[in-house]
Amino acid sequence: MQPAKKTDAKKDGSHAGQANAKAEADMLKKEIERMKDMAGRAQADLQNAKERMERERQDISKYALEGTLRRLLPTIDNFQRAFQHLPEDLKSHDWVRGVAAIEQDLMKQVTELGLQKMDALGSVLDPAKHEVLQAAPGEKGKVLEVFEQGYELNGKVLRPAKVKVGDGSVGV
């Protein structure tokens, strides 16, 4: 009878081994699913990080450019004032024409970077774009004179225009 017991023991051992193997396979499947989930999340996190870094790089580039252009505005203003007050007898001088060409090239370069003059003269007062220095007789809220040009960088006000506006009274 002992041989029968060995067979039964082998069967019991075989069933226990199969149960253990099935449990281990189930555990491994769960671990694989967990690892797949972690890999998917890591991939999504990496993609999000890449996109965030690209946005930050663009912002840094934009802000660095903004600071540089702000520093150039007084130079641009000085060129414009110099040409507004240029004596008639010097306007055709070769040296003056050379300086004018330099100013035009500078303006072309900064325009390509996104710097734009704001057209303030004759427009309705916009506190985001205009800094009122004086009020005078004229149509209320209309820009009558521009003392200092305003500029925008890619649609954002870099420097408001300094202006004189109408106060709504009629001039004499």
CA atoms within 13 A on the CB side of 78: 8
- What angle do the packed helices 2-84 and 94-112 form, to 10 degrees? 150
Quote the mean pLDDT of the chain: 88
DSSP H helices, the chain, are: 2-84, 94-112
pLDDT per residue over 29-53, tens digit each? 999 999 999 999 999 999 999 999 9
Dump pLDDT digits (tens) for 69-85: 999 999 999 999 999 99
Task: Measure the CA angle with vertex 61, ends 55 and 62; round to 5°.
Answer: 85
Can you say how many angstroms the Cα of residue 36 is from the centroid of all Cα atoms in its chain? Answer: 36
Q: How far apart are CA 150 and CA 21, in angstroms?
A: 78
Amino acid at 129: K
Question: Where does the pLDDT of residue 155 fall: very low under 50, low under 70, confident under 90, or very high at 90 and above?
Answer: confident
Given a cut of 90, whether residue 5 has pLDDT beyond it is no
- In this predicted structure, the answer to whether residue 4 has a pLDDT above a threshold of 60 is no
User: Does the pTM of the predicted model rise above 0.75?
Assistant: no
